[in-house]
Structure 1
Amino acid sequence: MVNLVTLGFFCTGFLRSLVSPEEQQVEVKHSRLCPWECMTFVQMWPGSFCVALGRKFECVMPKNANNWTIHGLWPSDVMECCTYWRLFPSDLVDLMPELNVHWPTLINISNFRFWEKEWQKHGTCAGCIETLNCPNKYFRAALFLRTKYNIDRAFQTAAVVPSCRWNYQLKTFMGVLQPILGDQYELQCVTDVQGRQILVQIKVSLHSDFSTGCIEASSYDISPYKPCTAEERIFYFPANQENPHNPCP
């Protein structure tokens, strides 16, 4: 049987294998273990998610659909760093009530299955720093970041509200978000069947100490969402429990 100590050494070795020999020398000098410098904290707007999803998957609108939810906490340009580092319900027992509210699944799988996927894909790579070196710390950090970078509060304070009728200029959103998110963030949109540009996701680039402003030179972007553009006005749709795929027909 492989014990946790052995597993830890295995995963540490795997993370080190992602770093070039030159970078390993820098790592020794600066006592760095991670192959990444920036991480992206991503919040999702449930009212728009189902529009982007289309009819391919069953969309599940959570009870807290009127609040921004967590999509993930992603170290940059690295994924699935340790397939043997599993997530168990016991890892999150004290966080379950908050996670169910603030990090729900939006498709027809269990919340835990969603968290399990996020941990396997991104959390195992985040675990190379002390503040995120176990599942409980990783998910607790995401909850902390949702409070620290509170999109709901920022929009409510600025009277930016979901609506089928009203739309906004990109600069309006940026003026609201820049004071809390800094300069390294991105608003992402989707286009509905009527050709409207719809806000769906906000990504902010963070340093490993969770401060904003980390400049990442990302080599790829697997997101199905695209940066919102200033050329078209942006809709911020309300959640529609009865017709989540087309909340504003």
Structure 2
Amino acid sequence: MMAANSVALGLFCMSFSWLLVRPEDLWRQQQAKVENSRSCPWRCMSFVQMWPGTFCIALGRRFECVLPKDANTWTIHGLWPSNIMGCCPYRYLFPSDLVDLTSELNEHWPSFINLSNFQFWEKEWQKHGSCAGCVEALSSPDKYFRAALFLRTKYNIDSAFQRAAITPSCIQSYQLSTFVTVLRPVLGDQYELQCVTDVQGRQILVQIKVSLHSNFSSSCIEDSDYNISPYKPCRSERTVFYFPTSQKFPRNPCP
């Protein structure tokens, strides 16, 4: 009987041995498969920047919206491989992964809702970053987030608008073509300006998506119009507002 019980226990332990595999090891196994395939399941990726002054306008009431005092520049929303999400749920993000980048990420990739900055980065990593590892330059959390910070400098919307004297205003609006003319030399040909509409019917710039190749060059042409963003392309038949940020009234900065 004891021998039979020992065999049964051994089989039981073997059947559950996979539970003892660490998440890090599962990630390495998955990463090895990706690297051995020498190809990506995606061709383009979107680098997405958001304007804090408009973000809270379209935010659902179940979220608390809080803008930091220094939220007056375009911030990173994400770096998204196209047409794919959530590739490796076993690869978690740890604070130690970003120890050298935390200060810059807090400044340029902040959360504006009742979610800590790290929780925001964690969601972006698991949803999008885990699909980017087939590119060597994005094959770890440090590389992925470092690349996003580099891209914010490379595709600098703040500088482009400043050179063209485009400034946030509750009164002045712009033709969509004005933004296109200013941004094309900086962002290339494949990018999308996205807008929201407030209760007064004003079309307001909120987000800009730039389509990139895996080597971070611009003007990658998507295979489809798959769009995971909650925002819609700005419409050329209407003028576009570029609202200032308001820490006191983030949901209605221009009543």
Fold match (TM-score > 0.5): yes
1:92-171 → structure 2 map (5 Å cutoff): 92-171=98-177
Offset, 1:63: 2.7
1:33 aligned counterpart, secondary structure: coil
Structure 2: how far apart are the matches of 1:165 and 1:52?
A: 20
Determine the structure 1 residue equivalent to 2:93: 87
1:177 aligned counterpart, secondary structure: helix
Does residue 251 of structure 2 align to residue 242 of structure 1? no
Does residue 199 of structure 2 align to residue 193 of structure 1? yes
Structure 1: how far apart are the matches of 2:245 and 2:26?
A: 47
Does residue 228 of structure 2 align to residue 226 of structure 1? no
Structure 1: how far apart are the matches of 2:161 and 2:225?
A: 31
User: Number of paired residues?
Assistant: 235
For each residue in 1:6-59, what CA deviation from the matched residue of structure 2 results, as whole angstroms up to 9, or x when unmatched? 53223554x69xxxxxxxxxxx8xx63210000000000000000011423110
1:42 aligned counterpart, secondary structure: strand
| Segment of structure 1 superposing worse, 60-69 or 102-111 | 60-69
Q: Unaligned regions of 5+ residues in structure 2, if any?
A: 1-19
For each residue in 1:98-143, what CA deviation from the matched residue of structure 2 results, as whole angstroms up to 9, or x when unmatched? 0000000010110000000000000000111110000000000000
Q: 2:189 aligns with which of 183, 192, 195?
A: 183
* Contact 1:54 1:245 (8 Å CA) reproduced: no
Determine the structure 1 residue equivalent to 2:8: none
1:18-37 → structure 2 map (5 Å cutoff): 32-37=38-43
For each residue in 1:193-214, what CA deviation from the matched residue of structure 2 results, as whole angstroms up to 9, or x when unmatched? 0000000000000000000010
Structure 2: how far apart are the matches of 1:32 and 1:193?
A: 49
Q: 2:29 aligns with which of 2, 9, 15?
A: 9
Structure 2: how far apart are the matches of 1:2 and 1:134?
A: 20
Structure 1: how far apart are the matches of 2:226 and 2:191?
A: 16
1:85 aligned counterpart, secondary structure: coil
Determine the structure 2 residue equivalent to 1:42: 48
Structure possessing the higher radius of gyration over alpha carbons:
2
2:29 aligned counterpart, secondary structure: helix
Aligned sequence identity (%): 70
Does residue 89 of structure 2 align to residue 70 of structure 1? no
Structure 2: how far apart are the matches of 1:108 and 1:197?
A: 26
* Contact 1:77 1:219 (8 Å CA) reproduced: no
Structure 2: how far apart are the matches of 1:102 and 1:248?
A: 24
* Contact 1:104 1:111 (8 Å CA) reproduced: yes
**TM score, norm. by length of structure 1:** 0.90
Structure 2: how far apart are the matches of 1:87 and 1:99?
A: 14
For each residue in 1:54-81, what CA deviation from the matched residue of structure 2 results, as whole angstroms up to 9, or x when unmatched? 4231101023311000000000000000
